[in-house]
Amino acid sequence: MNQAVSRNMSPSDNTGSAVQQIAPEDESRAAIYAMLAKLLSAPPSSEQLADLAKLQGSDTDFGQAIAKLSQAARDTTVEQEDDAYHDLFIGLTRGKLLPYGSYYLTGFLHEKPLARLRNTMAQLGIEANPDEKDPEDHIASVLDMMGGLIRGDFGQPVPVAQQRIFFQEHVQSWAPYFFRDLEKVEDSKLYAAIGTVGRVFLELEEAAFSMD
């Protein structure tokens, strides 16, 4: 099942509509958003760690970040990262990091950034999953939405101009700061590597949107 459907949001009714094909580079972008969202929505499974361990890096900054993530996946266990995930994002009362847009932008949960995101979701035909406890501005959900807009999960792939607006308002406005914080964690090389991948990827996205 698509992560965007299974976590916080669901596509509008597209019965009878033909989904447009997207360019290979957009498929790759959407896949990276989906990968990051999945890794930040729950502790990794053994299958996820095995898949990450197979990733190949390159000499680019992003390729080096991927290589770091791949090595970290080879050097850890499901049990270690289950503990790390709960320490980082859940804790006894709260985790070390609060992965919500409202918190990063205002210092509090359930604030205006969440209301703005919900308004954008309504405009785009994205409905929240009533069974999901986390608010929609959780980092995994926001990344899922971004990838879904690229893929066309909520109707048709949205134009680049509309992608840029969503990115600037709901991703770029706070997610880079979250990934920098994640990159600094000392208890998990895997999550630190996820932080590096997220930071570098969003820098590439920001640069690409500025050129369009």
What confidence tens digit (pLDDT) does each residue in 148-202 have? 999 999 999 999 999 999 999 999 999 999 999 999 999 999 999 999 999 999 9
Angle at 187 between CA 181 and CA 193, to 5 degrees: 55
* H-type alpha helices, 24-159: 24-41, 46-53, 61-74, 78-89, 101-106, 112-124, 139-151
pLDDT above 80 (res 144): yes
Site of tokens 């706070």:
174
Q: Which residues contact 113 (CB under 8 A, 6 or more apart)?
A: 101, 102, 105, 106, 137, 170, 173, 174
Distance CA(94)–CA(168), nearest Å, equals 28
Residues found in the chain? 212
Task: Give the pLDDT band (50/70/90) at residue 130.
Answer: confident
Domain ranges for the chain, please list them.
29-211
Class of domain 29-211: mainly alpha
What confidence tens digit (pLDDT) does each residue in 90-107 have? 998 899 999 999 999 999
Report CA dihedral (212, 58, 37, 91) to the nearest 10 degrees.
-130
DSSP letter at 154 equals: T
- 0.75 exceeded by pTM: yes
